[in-house]
Each structure stands twice: as structure tokens, then as C-alpha cells.
Amino acid sequence: MATMFLIYLILAPVSFFAPLRSAHSAMLLYQKGLIMNISEEFDRVFSQLKSSQTNNADQNEPFLKRIRQLEEERELVYRFPVWPFDTASLRKFFGLAFSPLIPVVTSLLIDLISRFF
């Protein structure tokens, strides 16, 4: 009985997370790709700003505006979730996964209490 309990405790999370690992990898790869694209664009715009070598704020404003936009985009991309679930769905999963164990644990506790009283 204890070995089945242990096997269930190991297999339930593994069977849940194993298929999600490929989704996590794809989401992480996509996020890194977006960040690389933003970085390349930032480098390009910054080098254009640097090469313009002008003190005129009106001529530099489009470059500075684009740099600010790229910084906002980078912040948004960093906040993208890289797991295909959130904490609420994770709590639901573990609640459902461990609910079949409630009768087993309850019976073990009742047996333990009945031995002492």
C-alpha cells in the first residue's frame, strides 16, 4: 500500500509536467527570439543615433523615441509567461491529483489514532 502511494506521488506530477516541458521549451525559445530581435533593432537604432553626431534634439528625437519603444517592448517580452499554465491551474491540478489519496491518508490516520486510544 505504501509503495503504491509513493509511486502515485511520483508519477502524478511527472505525467503532468513531462508533456508540458516541450511547450515550455517552445515558449522560452520564442521569448529569446523576440528579445534577440529587439536587441538587434536597439543596436541598429543606437548606432544610427551615434553616427548622426548631431546636437539638434529635433533630429535625434525619432531615434530616442524608437529606443524608448524598444525598451518598453523588451519589458513586455520579459513579462511573457514561459509556462503554459498559471498558479491557479497548478493548484487545481495538485488538488485533483492528490484528492484520491485523501481516503488512504484518512484511513491510515484513523488506524493510528485507534491504536493510541
Q: What is the pLDDT of residues 63-81, one digit of tens each?
A: 889 999 999 999 999 988 8
Domain limits of the chain?
26-84, 86-117
**Distance between CA atoms of residues 21 and 19, nearest Å:** 5
Q: Would you state the pLDDT for residue 51?
A: 84
pLDDT score of 28 more than 80: yes
To the nearest 10 degrees (0 to 180), the angle between helices 87-98 and 2-52 is 170
Q: What is the DSSP letter of 23?
A: H
* pTM value > 0.75: no
**Do residues 56 and 63 make contact, with C-beta atoms less than 8 angstroms apart?**
no
Cβ partners under 8 Å of residue 63, min gap 6:
45, 46, 48, 49, 52
Q: Scanning the structure block, which residue is given the C-alpha cell 529606443?
A: 67
Spatial separation of the C-alpha atoms in residues 25 and 54, rounded to whole Å: 44
DSSP letter for 85, please.
S
What are 51's three cell numbers? 553616427
